[in-house]
Structure 1
Amino acid sequence: MKLPKRTENALDKLYTAFHKGDLIPDCHAHCAVGNICDNTTAWQHLTEHHGSGKLSYVGIVHQRLGRKFFGFSPVELLQIEQEFLSGCGHSLPLYYLSRNDQLNQDDLFAGLTKVVAYLCQLENISNVMDCSLLFDYKPETSQAEEILQEA
């Protein structure tokens, strides 16, 4: 499947960060959006709190001007970060008291799974991590559908 360039770039950066151990949820430069933005922290000024979906004044201005950062609007970047942090098990927005210092690779992978699902939703394409297509499998129970939709 051919992915849009912004999604392909984002997935490449996240894949590399995950395997190099450079994916750190509570660090603005090494979280999901930090990695997408080439480990810069300028994106943090789009919101007042890490993990918040609410734009700051600066974020509102950039959003209204139609600015894109690495192909994503400010609202999209904040949503990517929310998906990642919540997938890792953090409560949002992220405060020093809500940090989970016991994160492991499984937690990070769960966060990345939510990010990939959101990126595919943004592009209006099927989830590239959904392996049910490979096995020609359709869930029969509503519980299985809920699990797939959460991923």
Structure 2
Amino acid sequence: METPKRLEQALIKLYNAFHNNELNPECCSACAVGNILDNRDSWKHLTNGHGSLELSYVGRVHQNLGRKFNGYSPLELLQIEKVFLEACGFVVPLCHYNPKPQDPTNKETLFNGLCAVVAHLCKLDNVANVMDYSKIFEYEKDTPVYQFDVIYE
């Protein structure tokens, strides 16, 4: 199955952001959606609350006109961000009185968020989760289904 272009581009951007320490759940231009949208924060006008699924007036207009931002509709973008924030340990929508993780830019926290986002992005495009490694552990009659060449140095 071929990977849809929007999914491939989103995965590359998120991968680079993660490894370049440019992913920050509390910054609209450096969060999951901010990175997917080329580090722009204009998407924040699609909703009145960071992490909310409720479209603002501007968001509803864009949604109703069928507008896409790097391949994603306004509602899809809000869903992606909500998944990311919740998997990072935030209570959404973000506000000063809602609990948040102690260190929101901790690599493990961000990795958990990215795993959830990647699964969600794959689901949006009806693609098997590219991060699902369970296949390598499949077995039949106590024998691995897949064989790997192991190189010892």
Common fold, TM-score beyond 0.5?
yes
SS at match of 1:2: coil
Q: Which residue number corresponds to residue 141 of structure 1? A: none
TM-score by length of 2: 0.86
CA offset at residue 11 of structure 1? 0.5
Measured on the aligned residues, the alpha-carbon RMSD in Å equals 1.5
**1:38-86 residue CA offsets vs partner (Å, 9 max, x unmatched):** 0011100000000001100000000000000000000000000000000
Amino acid at match of 2:69: F
Q: How many residues align?
A: 138
CA distance in 2, matches of 1:97, 1:17: 28
Q: Which residue number corresponds to residue 109 of structure 1? A: 111
Deviates more, 1:121-130 or 1:99-108: 99-108
CA distance in 2, matches of 1:134, 1:86: 28
Work out the percentage of aligned pairs sharing the same amino acid: 57
CA offset at residue 136 of structure 1? 2.1
SS at match of 2:113: helix
CA distance in 1, matches of 2:132, 2:117: 13
Unaligned runs of 5+ in 2: 140-153
Which structure 2 residues correspond to residues 125-136 of structure 1 after superposition, within 5 A?
Answer: 125-136=127-138
In the TM superposition, structure 1's runs of 4+ consecutive aligned residues that sit over 6 Å from their partners are: none
CA distance in 1, matches of 2:93, 2:111: 20
Q: Which residue number corresponds to residue 44 of structure 2? A: 44
TM-score by length of 1: 0.87
**1:92-144 residue CA offsets vs partner (Å, 9 max, x unmatched):** 0011333435131111000000000001100111111111122226xxxxxxx
Q: Which residue number corresponds to residue 89 of structure 2? A: 89
Please state which structure has a larger fraction of its residues in helix. Answer: 1
Q: Which residue number corresponds to residue 80 of structure 1? A: 80
SS at match of 2:9: helix
Which structure 2 residues correspond to residues 1-150 of structure 1 after superposition, within 5 A?
Answer: 2-98=2-98, 99-103=100-104, 104-136=106-138
SS at match of 1:79: helix
